Structure 1
Amino acid sequence: MRVLIIEDEQALAETIRRGLVNEGFVVRVEHNGNDGLWAATEERFDVIVIDIMLPGLNGYNVLREIRKRKIWTPIMMLTAKDGEYDQTDAFDLGADDYLTKPFSFLVLTARLRALIRRGAPARPVELTIGSLNLNPGRRSVTRHGDEIPLTAKEFGLLHFLMRQKGAIVSKSEILANVWDPAYDGAENVVEVYIGYLRRKIDVPYELSTLQTVRGMGYRLVADKPQNAHA
């Protein structure tokens, strides 16, 4: 199992490298974004770990360029920051996981193995359900060609729902994947943002695609007129 670590803190990078080698991984380490991007695009790895705060290209730009070149290797982002927008930005750009420093090496190893087991299926740069289109790289959403402005949280929520391909997701699943892990407020914040999204992606187009499934959660389906029967 080959791992690329892109981390500018050399002591931390070496600690991770030694630990992963002892676990049977083959590890390459780069200490800046430019060299990390070159390695990611020129060699094959089973998983890539990228620190967000890097000299040269920052981690977000490295991630963006990797996905832009249609390389779908699973990617975990590392950062000393801990905020919902950092996570949303990383997932919107194509990251598969996110770990905040300081972290347990056992947790890092377990999550890397999980990413490797999932593999790297090809995924489209854009997500489309009916006439609704979302481009994570450009952070844009359109319906019938109209640009729909969304806040960062609305965008993260829509992105999560579109990735589920019409499956029903619960409030707790949405909170776990879209909100900060430290969030301890009421679950009804999900209902509030679902309402915000409906007013932007459905109401102006007389559609009912963002559906509430009573007692279960929410799902996003292909174009459905507001007056259509279930």
Structure 2
Amino acid sequence: MENASRSAEAASIKQPREVTGYPWPAELMANANLPFRPADALVTTQNPPDFGWPFVPGADGYRLELARDAAFDGGATASAEPAINFYNFPHVLEEGTWHWRVRFHTPETGWSAWSDVRKFRIAEGSVPFPVPPVDELLARMERAHPRVWTNPRELEAFRERRLHGVAKTVFEHARDSVLSRMEDPLPPDPTFPYMDRSISSVSPEWVKALQDLRKYADAALDHLLKAAFVYLIGGRPRDRRAR
């Protein structure tokens, strides 16, 4: 039944015209912010692995295909047509070696050529990691807060965990980190030199500037998330330190 369901899923995805297409832009391949993943020859215990590839400016869709043989002579065993440049399958794959490829579509020129075929191996004893469609995940989301680390029904039990064992150590470490920076001034607003899009979004300069911006933002966000975590579990850090 499961195999039949997968076959029906693959058949339901429209098949693009089997044409050679134009190649992936060389600049894009050299300076992509998101590389092809899983990396070629990866051995993974996550089943299925995360898939991603370079963002193509102007693309309105992609086609991802997986097969057991590198030549894809038997067609795609699993496939998808996401609108964005990453994807997670909603079902597990058989363990062993797989091959994958992807191509993109633009309204002006149609389908591109396929990317290089890459392979990965799902190790024996893999951990299932199917990801439901985004609409299904959103439907499961809690309507009330909190809805990140826990939920309203389990909040008190979650808070109690800070009093014992490893959870106590983790909470106290996070609390001390927050307290050590309570008097820090707010960081200045970051700048980005290419807001006017004066250069290509896949050029080396753009990618480097974006990476620097993310490093700056990630440091500030890490502190904010720790503060939110401490507040959720223990209330105001200063109040809890005195207890």
Q: Give the structure-1-normalised TM-score.
A: 0.30
Larger of the two Rg values belongs to structure: 2
Q: Which has the higher helix share?
A: 1
